[in-house]
Amino acid sequence: MNLIVLGINHKTAPVEIREKLSISEHLIGESIHILEDKAPEIKEKVILSTCNRMEIYARVTDITKGVESLKSFLCGYHEIDRETLDKSAYLLVLEEAVEHLFKVTSSLDSMIVGEPQILGQVKGAYSAAREFEATGAVLNRLFEQSFTVAKRVRTETGIAENAVSVSFAAVELAKKIFGDLSDKTTLLIGAGEMIELAVKHLVAQGVDTVLVSNRTYDRAVELATKFNGEAVKFDSLHEELKRCDIVISSTGAPHFVVRKELAAEVIAERHNRPMFFIDIAVPRDIEPSVNEIDNCYVYDIDDLRNVVEANMAEREREAERAEEIISKEVTEFFTWLDHLEVAPAITDLRKVMEEMRQKEVDKATSRMPNLSEKDRETIEKMTSAIINKAIHSPIVNLKKKAESKDGHKYLGALRYLFNLDK
C-alpha cells in the first residue's frame, strides 16, 4: 500500500511561494476532479491548504507516477515552474507520511507548537475530500486515527498549556495576580493589533468590563464596539484609571503615557486596591518606576517575552512526550494496514501458484494421451499438495510478520517476488 505526502510549509517555503501554491476552499472540488481525470494512479487524495502549508495526502498504485502526477498538477494549476516547486516541496512516503500527518494534527509541526487551529483545518480538508468522494478505506482510517492521536496528545501532555504569545502571556499573568478575572475592569490604551489580541484573550477568560482609550476616538469606538466595551476619551485617562484593575497599553507615543506620579494618585484614590499594568509598547508607555508603588505591578514587553520563552521550552519538553504517543500510533496504523492487505495477498499468491500448477499439469498430460482418468486425478492431487506445502511456511510467516511494525515490508516483498501486482 503506497501512501505519500507531497507538500510545502512554513519551514520549506517563503510566504510568496505558499501563496502561489495555496488552493482555496471553494476550489478543492475542482482540484480533486482534475486529479481524478488526469492521474488514475492516485486512488485516494486529501488536499490540505492553510496559510502555513499546502499538502496533498494520497494513496497511489505507483509512487513514482503518483508523485510526478501531483507535481505536474501543481505546476499546471498554479502556473509555477517545476524548479521552483522542487526547491520548496517535500515528499514523504509510508511511515514518514503517516507520522507527518499525526504530527500536523497534533500541532507538533505548527509554527507555534500546541496551537489549536490546525486540527480544525485538517478536519475541514478531510470533510471536503469525503464530500467529493476522494477518499477510501485507507485515508478514511488514517485521518480518523489522526484525530484520535491529536486528542490523546492534548489530554495526555501539556503541549497546549502555557502562553506562547505576548498578548496571551499578559492575560495569564493577570490571572496569576487576580485569580478570577470576571469581576475586573480592564482599560486598553491604544487600539492596534497587539491590543486587539489582548482583549480577545481577556474576553475569553471572562472579563466583563472593557474600556478602550485611544488618541483617535473613532478607532477606540470601533474596537470597543467589537467587544461590547466602552470607548473613553484619552484626555480623561486620570479619571478612568481609578476604576480599572488591569491596564494594557500599546501606543506609539514617544513619551510615558502613565507616569509614577499619576499612578500614585490613582492607587491612593483606589484605597490601595491592586492595579496590574501590562506595557507592550516600544518605546514603553508605563514609567518603570510605577512598579515601586505598593500594589502596582508592571510588566513590560521583555518581561512577557521571558515568560513566552520559558513556556515555549516547556512545550518543547511536552512535545517529546507527544512524539512517543505518535510513534505507537504509527505502528498501530500499519498493523491495521497489514491486516487489511494480508488476506488479499494470500489469495493472490494462491491464484498465481494455482495458475502455474495447472499450466504445467496441462503441458505434461498433453504428452501422455493414454493417461487414465484415475492417473490424471492422482497427478492433480499430487501437484496441489506440492504447491500447498511449498507456500504453507511463507503464508504462516507472513501472518506472523503482519503483527510487527515491518509487516508491510514483507507484504511488499511477497508481492514483488511473485509478481502479484501484474
Write out the catalytic residue numbers. 51
- What crossing angle do the helices spanning 137-156 and 117-131 adopt, rounded to 10°? 160
CA 288/CA 298 separation, integer angstroms? 7
Cell of 141: 482510517
Helix extents (H) in 136-246: 137-156, 166-178, 193-204, 217-226, 237-241
* Beta-bridge mates of residue 49: 54
Give the bridge partners for 298, in sequence order.
277
Q: How many other CB atoms are there within 10 angstroms of residue 147's CB atom?
A: 16
C-alpha cell recorded at residue 288: 518603570
Q: Which amino acid is at 309?
A: E
β-strand partners of 247: 187, 277
Q: Provide the 10 A C-beta neighbour count for residue 110.
A: 20
Contact 269, 275 (CB under 8 A): no
Q: How far apart are CA 65 and CA 216, in angstroms?
A: 60
Cα 100 to Cα 9: distance, rounded to the nearest angstrom: 12
Residue count of the chain:
422
74 CB burial (10 A radius; 0-12, 13-18, 19+): buried
Query: Cα–Cα distance between 387 and 397 in angstroms, integer?
Result: 16
For residue 186, the cross-strand partners are 210, 246
User: Radius of gyration (Cα) for the chain, nearest Å?
Assistant: 32
Cα distance between the two ends of the chain? 15
Q: How far apart are CA 251 and CA 213, in angstroms?
A: 10
Phi, psi of 204 (to 5 degrees): -65, -30
Beta pairing, strands 2-9 & 53-60: antiparallel
